[in-house]
Amino acid sequence: MAVRKVAVTLPEELFEIVERARRIEHRTRSEVVQEALRTHFGEAVYVPSDEERRLLTAALDEPDASLRDWDQVRADLHSDR
């Protein structure tokens, strides 16, 4: 698959959302934006359940969220299943 670089200008609030998501999910900025575009254009990669969405939102709101271990976040998300 060919890859191309694209420069995108984002309003500060969207940039902060991307940054928080990538820190929490231990992903690159490109991965977060690619998933958002795929979802927007109908190729959803990941659709969280209501409970997963609640847990992800809570994790994003934690003051030290960037310090959480990804394996622990994933375990927390799947502990109620």
What ranges do the domains of the chain cover?
A: 12-78
In sequence order, the 6+-apart residues with CB closer than 8 A to the CB of 20 are 60, 65
Average pLDDT, integer, range 1-10: 91
Q: Is 48 helix (H, G, I), strand (E, B) or coil?
A: coil
Structure confidence at residue 67 (pLDDT): 66
Say whether pLDDT at 81 is over 60: no
Q: 66: pLDDT confidence band, cut at 50, 70 and 90?
A: low
- Alpha-carbon distance of 33 to 55, in angstroms, equals 21
Do residues 32 and 61 touch, judged by C-beta distance below 8 A?
no
Q: Which of 34, 33, 37, 49 is nearest to 81 (CA)?
A: 49
3 or 80, greater pLDDT: 3
For residue 62, pLDDT beyond 80:
no
Q: What is the pLDDT of residues 11-59, one digit of tens each?
A: 999 999 999 999 988 899 999 999 888 888 886 666 778 888 888 888 7
DSSP 71: H
